[in-house]
Amino acid sequence: MNDDQRDRNGDDAFRDAMSDVQPLRNQRSEVERTRGDPTPAQLQRRQAAVDDHRDAVDPNNLHQGEVALVGPRDELSWKKDGVQIGVFRKLRLGKYEVDAELDLHRLTVSQAREAVFKFLKASRAKDLRTVLIAHGRGERSDPPARIKSYVAHWLRQTPEVIAFHSAPPNRGGTGAVCLLLKKSPQQREDNRERFS
């Protein structure tokens, strides 16, 4: 038997075996796919991807997610390691002249974020050292002290800010914060020359 005959016999056998087979009807059945809640690792990866994309599009790196809330009358106080105690005490007591002010009253969190970013960038460009941000107490906001809480978080996030403290009562008290910005390279050089 040659190859052609074997192929024909195989084809005939296949047709005989398949003679009673009917094609399936074109009825699509819906397959219900259930997904569980995403795992913490998946959520973290998603957030990282969103943050990477946002940083590429938006140079404003101030956090917009949820932050720890502070009370409307809570005092804000923070300093980076290396800030001298005497310098921080003068800031706390309002002994430094305020070079510029920003008022965040009646702004949304998104608007406040943009305003703080631009204000700090402009202050740094002008070599300002001590600035004030009036965020308000937010006693009637929902949740209370929302903008104040975000400002406290953003200031810790900003490398140019080396210390901040709630303003003295005559400057807004717990409804405002005085902050100390890093010295520019030129200001550091001027200090070296002055004290050497």
Confidence of residue 139 (pLDDT cuts 50, 70, 90): confident
pLDDT in tens, 157-184: 999 999 999 999 999 999 999 999 998 8
Domain 77-195, CATH 3.40.50.1860 — does that match? no
Burial profile 148-181: b = 16 or more Cβ within 10 angstroms, e = fewer:
bbbbbbbbeebeebbbbbbbeeebbebbbbbbbb
CA gap 52, 190 in Å, rounded: 38
CA gap 99, 127 in Å, rounded: 10
**pLDDT score, position 174:** 95
Compute the residue count for the chain.
196
Strand partners, 5: none
Residue type at 80 in one-letter notation? K
Task: Return the DSSP state at 145.
Answer: T
Q: Which two tokens stand for residue 182?
A: 């890093």
Residue type at 60 in one-letter notation? N
Rounded to an integer, the average pLDDT of 38-52 is 78
- By the 8 A CB rule, do 187 and 99 touch? no
**Considering the entire predicted model, what is its pTM?**
0.67
pLDDT in tens, 77-90: 999 999 999 999 99
